Amino acid sequence: MRFDAARDRVVVTTDVPAWVTDPLRAAYPNQVVIEPVPQLAPAGSTRVTTS
């Protein structure tokens, strides 16, 4: 969780289902933002980038 001072809102990074976070977002519209947890590559996998 972090506070985005420029936009005056709280940004929460979580992997809980939306039904858990929806009441919070409804209670604080435009003040709470839910972001998904970044997905990590499985162990042993190779990430390929192109330019």
pLDDT, one tens digit per residue, over 7-50 is 999 999 999 999 999 999 999 999 999 999 988 777 676 665 56
Cα–chain center distance at 40 = 14
Range of the domain at 11: 2-33
Residue 12 resides in a domain: yes
Supply the pLDDT for residue 47.
Answer: 60
Supply the pLDDT for residue 39.
Answer: 80
Looking at the DSSP bridge assignments, the partners of residue 35 are: 13
Supply the pLDDT for residue 18.
Answer: 94
Residue 49 resides in a domain: no
Residue 10 resides in a domain: yes
Q: Is 28 helix (H, G, I), strand (E, B) or coil?
A: coil
Supply the pLDDT for residue 51.
Answer: 55
Residue 14 resides in a domain: yes
- Domains of the chain: total: 1
Residue 28 resides in a domain: yes
Q: How far apart, in whole angstroms, are the C-alpha atoms of residue 47 and residue 7?
A: 34
Residue 48 resides in a domain: no
